[in-house]
């Protein structure tokens, strides 16, 4: 199927939704539903038919699919893309060369959530997270328990999710850090971080893929809100490390009454303040998505006091991004640092596109 055919189908599918929205009575804050938003890779990764995550999810929503089912079908495209080194198959591995995956999903109308962490061998952890929400009475399964659950649910378990590219990058990182000398933990961590950033600067690793992740949220015409986050986590992480992505309130939070927020970037900073939860609470207070996300960034900024995490100006030396979607369809992408090439993905009745991320501390 060609891209051109997909675009035509997209326009045909959404025409009726657009007419319905146009016929709705005017209210002080006009609904702009349905809408799907995601981190930038929600538009850059595509399947064999040239369809991106946000396009696939949006079409399914307009066809009447459950919002979470649609979003997960969308992020599966990114999880299965071997060229996206931040998610799923081919994600950058941990310090031992093992790809471990985290995911979380939340269903607004059902008030249910599921997550997995340190999952090995399953290319689509978002589907396993959804199974945790649908089939168990738990939220989070980890490591061997998560893999055993996935196997029992019929998921294929592979020995290794590395691609040739991800394995080659890990080998280069390993050579540069020379861990056989086993320096003290602080020095080793500093060396590993420094070498990782060197590889980013040399163009070997996409800067957005060093921390990784895709977050995707959506709302349908009825105002049902859902969200999903999935990641291979921090490149070269200490084995067993879990970031913010599978944790409720950190990498993702959804409240069907007000909206959704998800995050990419330095997970540890986000975990300390549960900033996605804070962002949704800011929406509840009536803030616009942009203001809600900026207030959460201010909280992280105030909590960042460790000198090693600050730049020469005394500001965070890392980035955190928030993708914020209100129940009425208003949305925003914010981060500590915006700038050229830093965008988030949007799909609504006007079609798929990238929109700029706005920086709290300017552009870098």
Residues with a catalytic annotation lie at 213
Could you tell me if 317 and 252 are in contact, meaning their C-beta atoms sit under 8 angstroms apart?
no
Closest CA to 345 of 216, 241, 249: 216
Side-by-side strand order, sheet with 101-107: 140-142, 112-119, 101-107, 225-231, 214-219, 35-39, 343-348, 351-356
Q: How many residues does the chain have?
A: 364
H or E element that contains 12: helix 3-23
Rounded to the nearest 5°, which phi and psi values hold at 268? -60, -40
Residue 141 forms beta bridges with which residues? Answer: 116
Using CA atoms, how far apart are residues 13 and 24, in angstroms rounded to an integer? 19
**Neighbouring C-alpha atoms within 13 Å toward the C-beta of 31:** 21
- Cα four-point dihedral sign 182, 183, 187, 191: negative
């Amino acid at each position: 199927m060609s891209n051109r055919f997909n675009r035509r189908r997209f326009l045909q599918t959404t025409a009726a939704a657009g007419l319905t929205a146009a016929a709705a009575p005017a209210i002080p804050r006009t609904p702009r539903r349905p809408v799907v938003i995601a981190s930038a890779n929600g538009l850059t990764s595509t399947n064999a038919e040239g369809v991106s995550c946000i396009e696939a999810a949006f079409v399914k929503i307009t066809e009447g699919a459950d919002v979470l089912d649609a979003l997960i079908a969308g992020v599966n495209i990114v999880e299965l893309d071997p060229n996206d080194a931040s998610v799923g198959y081919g994600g950058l591995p941990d310090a031992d060369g093992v790809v471990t995956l985290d995911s979380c999903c939340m269903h607004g109308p059902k008030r249910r959530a599921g997550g997995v962490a340190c999952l090995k061998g399953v290319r689509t952890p978002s589907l396993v997270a959804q199974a945790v929400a649908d089939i168990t009475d738990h939220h989070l399964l980890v490591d061997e328990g998560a893999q055993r659950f996935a196997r029992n649910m019929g998921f294929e378990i592979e020995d290794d999710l590395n691609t040739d590219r991800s394995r080659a990058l890990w080998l280069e990182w390993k050579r540069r850090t020379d861990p056989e000398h086993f320096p003290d933990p602080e020095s080793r961590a500093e060396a590993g971080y420094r070498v990782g950033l060197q590889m980013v600067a040399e163009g070997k690793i996409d800067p957005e893929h060093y921390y990784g992740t895709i977050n995707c949220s959506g709302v349908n015409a009825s105002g049902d809100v859902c969200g999903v986050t999935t990641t291979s986590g921090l490149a070269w992480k200490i084995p067993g490390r879990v970031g913010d992505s599978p944790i409720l309130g950190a990498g993702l939070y959804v409240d069907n009454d007000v909206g959704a927020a998800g995050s990419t970037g330095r997970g540890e900073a986000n975990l300390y303040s549960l900033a996605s939860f804070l962002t949704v609470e800011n929406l509840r207070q009536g803030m616009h998505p942009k203001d809600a996300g900026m207030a959460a960034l201010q909280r992280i900024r105030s909590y960042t006091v460790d000198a090693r995490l600050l730049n020469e100006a005394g500001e965070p030396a890392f980035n955190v991004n928030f993708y914020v979607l209100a129940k009425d369809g208003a949305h925003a992408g914010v981060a500590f640092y915006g700038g050229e090439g830093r965008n988030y993905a949007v799909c609504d009745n006007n079609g798929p596109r990238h929109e700029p991320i706005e920086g709290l501390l300017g552009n870098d």
